[in-house]
Amino acid sequence: MQTVKMVVTGPFNSGKTEFIQTVSEIDVVSTERKVSSEAEKIKESTTVAMDFGRITVDDELVLYLFGTPGQKRFDFMWEILSEGMLGFIVMVDSTRPETFKEARAILETFRAYAPTPYVVAANKQDMEDAWEIDDMRIALRLDPDVKLLPAVAVDRESVKSVLLELLGTILTEL
């Protein structure tokens, strides 16, 4: 049996848990305690959180999805992620521009340490006040060759297409 991993990262409340839950065949085991808006300010309580989902491909292959908001290099998650990571997805809440710079910082940290393909998901595109993709690309300072994908984490087709885009990127980089 072989296992591979994909990581879903991004700021607090960007939709990581929702994204994984939407396609996982098991209930997302979240190590994250329900955090009140007060607790949101305390970074530690959210950086140790990690979601965990699974998609069985066939008898010999399983894909795990890990959700983590981490940006610190020495978080314990790096150890967990250090084997078999195919690529990562950076989730961004399109309705909360105040989180864009954090998303950018997370992206940069991951990119510096994980030389694997990635895509950026502009989540919550179903919401009225979601930013447009082109504006988000500028605000997030993404190079033209980085895939920035509109996403709705509560919608299965949308989550599938983000995963497929990442896999497509992985395939071209092999």
Ligand X SMILES: Nc1nc2c(ncn2[C@@H]2O[C@H](COP(=O)(O)OP(=O)(O)O)[C@@H](O)[C@H]2O)c(=O)[nH]1
Site for other proteins, rule CB under 8 A: 2, 4-5, 23, 55-58, 61, 63, 71-73, 78, 81-87, 101-102, 104-105, 108-109, 111-117, 141, 156, 160, 163-164, 167-168, 170-171, 173-174
Question: Which token pair is 16?
Answer: 């990581």
* Beta-sheet pairing, 118-123 with 148-150: parallel
Let me know: does 159 contact 22? Beta carbons within 8 Å: yes
Query: What's the CA gap between 35 and 160, in Å, rounded?
Result: 28
Task: State the minimum distance, in angstroms, from the CB of residue 46 to Mg ion.
Answer: 8
CB closer to Mg ion out of 5 and 16: 16
Residues 6+ apart with CB under 8 A from 135: none
Measured distance CA(23)–CA(10) in Å, rounded? 18
| Nearer to ligand X among residue 10 and residue 70 (C-beta) | 10
Nearer to Mg ion, 95 or 172 (CB): 95
Contact partner at residue 139 from Mg ion, ligand X, other proteins, none, CB < 5 to 8 Å by partner kind = none
Contact 98, 51 (CB under 8 A): no
Q: Which residues contact 52 (CB under 8 A, 6 or more apart)?
A: 20, 28, 29, 30, 31, 64, 65, 66, 67
Minimum distance of other proteins from residue 82's CB (angstroms): 6
Specify the residue, 61 or 156, whose C-beta has the smaller distance to ligand X. 156
Q: Which residues bind ligand X (CB under 6 A)?
A: 10, 12-18, 67, 123-124, 126-127, 152-154
For Mg ion, the closer of residues 35 and 142 by Cβ is: 35
Report the alpha-carbon distance of residue 140 to residue 103 in Å, rounded. Answer: 8
Where on the chain is the footprint of Mg ion (CB under 5 A)? Answer: 16-17
31 touches, from ligand X, Mg ion, other proteins, none (C-beta below 5 to 8 Å by class)? none
Q: To the nearest whole angstrom, how small is the minimum distance from the Cβ of residue 110 to ligand X?
A: 15
